[in-house]
Amino acid sequence: MSHYDILQAPVISEKAYSAMERGVYSFWVSPKATKTEIKDAIQQAFGVRVIGISTMNVPGKRKRVGRFIGQRNDRKKAIVRLAEGQSIEALAGQA
């Protein structure tokens, strides 16, 4: 898998933005990706040094439209800690 297939999108929330100030970034990633693949993809895509990764599987919520009940897709979230003094410039303007 290339890093374009592994990294899907940054997590956009108040909690994620406050963590960016401490050098911790959150991404939605491919559910099949491993921690080492995620680490390599982030280092290759953004040119930073990753020192820690936590991952979690987030189950999809049930949603109802009228009388029809469906479910959103399950997702995987990766919380990435960067080396001291490093940041991802592409996401720095959003925080």
Residue among 52, 2, 54 nearest 30 (CA): 2
C-alpha distances (whole Å) from 46 to each of 1, 10, 62, 75, 95 are 17, 13, 34, 22, 17
The DSSP symbol for 22 reads: T
Start-to-end C-alpha separation, the chain: 29
User: What domains does the chain contain, in order, with CATH numbers?
Assistant: 3-86 (3.30.70.330)
> What is the Cβ-side half-sphere exposure of residue 17, based on CA atoms within 13 angstroms?
6
The per-residue pLDDT string of the chain (95 residues; one tens digit each, 9 = 90 and over) reads: 787 799 999 999 999 999 999 999 999 999 999 999 999 999 999 999 999 999 999 999 999 999 999 999 999 999 999 999 999 988 876 65
